[in-house]
Amino acid sequence: MTGASTRVVVVGAGLAGLIAARDVAASGAEVTVLEARDRVGGRMRGVPMSSGVVADGGAAYLGRQHTELLQLVDDHRLDLVSTGMSGESTFLIDDQRTTTASRVPPLDAVALGDLFDRLEDLVETVRPNAPWLTPDADRLDRLSAQRWLVDGIARPDAHTFFPLFLGEMMAADPAAISVLHMAFYLRSGGGLRYLNAFEGGAQQWRIDGGAHLLAEELAEQLGDRVHVNQPVAAIDQDHHGVVVRCVTDTAHRQSEFRADRVIVAVPPLLAQRIDFRPGLSTPRATTATGRGCAIKVHLGYRSPIWREGGLSGWSVSTSGPLLSTVDDSPSDESAGVLTGFVTGAAASAFSALSPAGQRDAALAHVARLFPQLPPPDTCSITDWITEKYSRGCYAALFGPGDWLRLGPTLTEPHGRIHWAGTETSLEYFGLMEGAIRSGRRAAAEVIDAADATTDSSKVLVR
């Protein structure tokens, strides 16, 4: 036990930061959580759809391999909702609409099989505990995923499907990420088939009422240790301790928090903007590091009326904005919630539209996908690309050169400063499970460091 004399500041009240704060507080330390937003949850966000119905504006899905997340759900007595689908899928391929019982787009099966075989062979070569030590890592980290496709696979339908697949799995434009990052992400998440699956896969369940409930439960446990509207601008440290400085309003008034240790649990692009004194020896992000390109569109109906026509609500389109849709309606069918995903290059183009333009484009696309449906009662758009305190979702995208530059020091403390966040997890990188594991690791580092200091003091006293 660290004892109450140890003071720890956690920067960021997303899932990783809240878990780290919970574990450190349980050790007896004095904990303060600083969150830039006016809410907790980070990239977990609830979107009200109708009375008592909330959709997941951010992170949403989980599967059996996500053991830490499942334990957390159980600890807080939350319920899971199956994402199992019945009914036909809808496909809009080159503006041709078809429906079929299969979830696989009506593209050349040989081309898709060859693509998946090549991806699986590549994924198997990655060292998940140290991707920068993967055989041929230097070449794989310099090569973009798009160039890998162009150089190695000729079939046109594989080229059509590849950006849709990476958009769904990683919210990535293939041109913006390295092959090493793509292969590591898929390996870290349990393999591409597990990540891509609903039944028995990483998308088997969602949390009833929304994943944001986990963050709210954790924050309630922490009570007045959590401070919102506290964007961190600078962190100074010396051999006496750490001072965390926040800019609290437009008048640039500052507040200060003193600590013995700090856990920074924000995405790399945000961590890179903090003024560290002394400065970081290795950056948290580079000019190649990108924002996860994800925008979620939630369409609300009186009930899941597409089911009446034998449709599952699942769709895939080869052109935007909604590259896929899924039925996220509550289990009691008290409302219909159709979630659309705008990812990759399509997300960047969609994000540049005005709010009215985004809504019009989304509704026009849904009308092409499901012409039998009436206009939705509500339309909510969560644009993570422009979100000031996220800078993308699902996770940061490691571009060419990033893993060799950033990977070896990803979790290495900077003096009294420790790192958390799903991008610092070599297990389930980019997922809620990864965020939890990173928070627990960072908390253990802080507790161990405090215990070592205490033991050293006892020796000196003797």
Instruction: Provide, rounded to the nearest whole percent, the portion of the chain with pLDDT above 70.
Output: 96
Q: What is the pTM of this model?
A: 0.95
Q: Residues 303, 203: one domain?
A: yes
CA dihedral angle for residue 170, residue 173, residue 177, residue 181, rounded to 10 degrees: 20
What is the CATH number for 258? 3.50.50.60
Q: Residues 316, 416: one domain?
A: no
Strand, helix or coil at 444? helix
User: Is 39 part of a structural domain of the chain?
Assistant: yes
User: Is 357 part of a structural domain of the chain?
Assistant: yes
Q: Residues 362, 437: one domain?
A: no
Give residue-wise pLDDT tens across range 411-432.
999 999 999 999 999 999 999 9
pLDDT class of 198 with cuts at 50, 70, 90: confident
Is 36 annotated among the ligand-binding residues?
yes
pLDDT at 459: 36
Residue 23 tokens read as 């574990």
Task: Specify the DSSP class assigned to residue 93.
Answer: E
pLDDT class of 10 with cuts at 50, 70, 90: very high
Is 256 annotated among the ligand-binding residues?
no
Q: What's the whole-number mean pLDDT along residues 204-223?
A: 97
User: Is 108 part of a structural domain of the chain?
Assistant: no
CB proximity list for 74: less than 8 A, separation 6 or greater: none
Half-sphere exposure of 117 (CA within 13 A, CB side): 8
User: Is 71 part of a structural domain of the chain?
Assistant: no
Domain ranges, residue 258: 7-44+211-282+412-461
pLDDT surpasses 50 at 142: yes
User: Is 249 part of a structural domain of the chain?
Assistant: yes
**In the chain, how many domains are there?**
2
Is 423 annotated among the ligand-binding residues?
yes
Q: What is the CA radius of gyration of the chain?
A: 22
Is 341 annotated among the ligand-binding residues?
yes
User: Is 128 part of a structural domain of the chain?
Assistant: no
User: Is 138 part of a structural domain of the chain?
Assistant: no
Q: Does residue 359 contact residue 321 with C-beta atoms inside 8 Å?
A: no
At which of 383, 403, 421 does a domain end? 383
- End-to-end Cα spacing for the chain: 21
